[in-house]
Amino acid sequence: MRRRVGAFFLFAFFAAPCRWLPPTLPAIKTTRNNTVPTCVTPGRLLAYLESRNPHLDPRFHAISSEYMRLGETLGVRWDYAFYQMLLETGSPSFRDGNRSGDVKPAQNNFAGLGATGRGAHGESFKDIATGVRAHLEHLLLYAGERVDNPVADRTRKIQEWGVLTDWHKGFARPVTFGDLAAKWAPARAPIVA
């Protein structure tokens, strides 16, 4: 994952069609006091996405709804996860500037899971909903939750290896998207997201 994650989240909220801005980046997991603002809707997120990618493949028109549906089911701040997806996929053009990214659109990999650079394409998921679920489950893992039967092999491996165990011990509070920005690609051999 690119190291610009923290800066992108801040930019994304300044550019979002909502006047609500948090003083710090929120916890990954939702709680009674950490909810997606009511002004953030799948329609607004789609409009924002289309403003960043006017040539959006029509198959991605429901992606913001999938983030909301699955994010609410899993208890993840799906609004921030959506912005992370924008960064990882180039709004999903799956391009990095003028060059194609390592992950291809047909992979439905919205978090770069297993894409380690230099042409390593990472994991593939059967459809958009499964790819969104893989992303959100990976976020839950980073938040300190155990994920039973994760859809992503990368999530399963990081969980089995205990890569994040010591990192989680350093928190006396919920893990935030700000914390995530500094840790998304843990080092254990060449592991990325």
pLDDT in tens, 166-193: 999 999 999 999 888 777 754 433 333 4
pLDDT in tens, 125-171: 999 999 999 999 999 999 999 999 999 999 999 999 998 999 999 99
Predicted TM-score (pTM) of this structure: 0.84
In this predicted structure, the answer to whether residue 77 has a pLDDT above a threshold of 60 is yes
CB–CB of 176/24 below 8 Å? yes
Give the count of alpha carbons within 13 A of 82, CB side only.
Answer: 29
Which of left, alpha, beta for 26 (phi over 0: left; psi -120 to 50: alpha)?
Answer: beta
Token pair, residue 17, equals: 């069609």
List phi, psi (to 5°) of 29. -85, 145
Q: Is 58 exposed, middle or buried (0-12, 13-18, 19+ CB in 10 A)?
A: exposed
Q: Where are the domains of the chain?
A: 5-181
Residue range 88-113: mean pLDDT, rounded: 89
Percentage helix, strand, coil, to 5, in the chain?
A: 45, 5, 50
| Overall size of the chain counted in residues | 193
